[in-house]
Amino acid sequence: MFSGSFVALVTPMLADGEIDYKGLGHLVDFHLQQGTDGLVVMGTTAEAATLSFAEQLDIISRVASQVSGQIPVLAGNGTNATSEGVARTCELDKLAIDGFLTVTPFYNKPMQKGLLAHFQQIAAATAKPVLLYNVPGRTGVDLLPETVAELAMTDNIVGIKEATGSLTRLSELQQRCPAGFALLSGDDATSLAFMQAGGHGVISVTANVAPALMARLCKLALTKRDAEAKVLDDQLQGLHHQLFIESNPIPTKWALQRMGLIDSDLMRLPLTQLEPIHHGIIEQALRHAGLLA
């Protein structure tokens, strides 16, 4: 089962908009050194929406090769067309990855019946584990607990990244889904409460800049060391909130550059760089977390 702190990895870019592969390699090494429990490559935070599938394949292949089995690597394979999702999954399945993170179809707003068929067909295209990804604020559609429970009957659908931030939703999933079904938070700000209520970890944006702290937080939470976990979570709450002061991953890229972990906070349009008015706010959150002197 997937558990602990998985980072939703950013994609560093050069001034001309091309991928900074050297910077990407440095980030992967950083996470291996800092104790991150797993990498999610080509999710929302990676700017997958503005990367071609050929670029995505190349990035995922390079990351998987560099990690070489040290920690799990999950590949984002979500699309809003089921046929394209199946085709992408078949191609990605050839890579040395450990599973998939499959987001709900975006923009076209399918009904629950359509979501069920969508995920079933994508899961059928691989024998590798599939994690569902529910993020209504991004996609415009909510994958309901009863649908998740039905999907959990598929052998290789093994868990969900639940990004509503609702502990009520977690409780509903626990009641409906089988034991061993991985329940991962997709909301950093409520991830401690999510784990204390029985969740198994988090797929985190904050872990891009604070991987050791997020890995530690998960270990404390999952071993019921609640007082220590609360102290650490208080240290991180500023980052949890301020890294979303503009659309993800805009603030995260700025923070990584400020910390010297990437050379540029550039990204592809329509995303733009962090507004200067927010620089001080992000820097203050980094200092409060102990990540800047």
pLDDT digits (tens, 9 = 90+) for 149-191: 999 999 999 999 999 999 999 999 999 999 999 999 999 999 9
Please name which of 29, 32, 34, 33 lies closest in space to residue 12, comparing C-alpha atoms.
29
Give the span between the Cα atoms of 210 and 30, in whole angstroms: 10
* Domain spans in the chain, listed from the N-terminal domain onward: 4-225
**pLDDT of 82 over the 90 cut:** yes
For residue 137, give both structure tokens.
């604020």
Active site (catalytic) residues: 133, 161
Task: Encode pLDDT of 220-265 as tens digits.
Answer: 999 999 999 999 999 999 999 999 999 999 999 999 999 999 999 9
Classify residue 240 as exposed, middle or buried by CB count within 10 Å of its CB (0-12, 13-18, 19+): buried
Please give the mean pLDDT across all residues of the chain.
97
**pLDDT of 1 over the 90 cut:** no
- In one letter, which amino acid is 163? A
> Residue 203, annotated ligand binder?
yes
SS3 7: strand
- In one letter, which amino acid is 3? S
Phi-psi region of 35 (alpha: psi -120 to 50; beta: other; left: phi over 0): left
Q: Which residues contact 7 (CB under 8 A, 6 or more apart)?
A: 31, 36, 38, 39, 40, 203, 204, 207, 208, 211, 214
**CATH class given for the domain over 4-225:** alpha beta
Give the span between the Cα atoms of 255 and 15, in whole angstroms: 17
SS3 134: strand
Give the span between the Cα atoms of 11 and 31, in whole angstroms: 14
For residue 227, give both structure tokens.
């007082």
For the chain, the helix, strand and coil percentages under 3-state DSSP, each to the nearest 5: 50, 15, 40
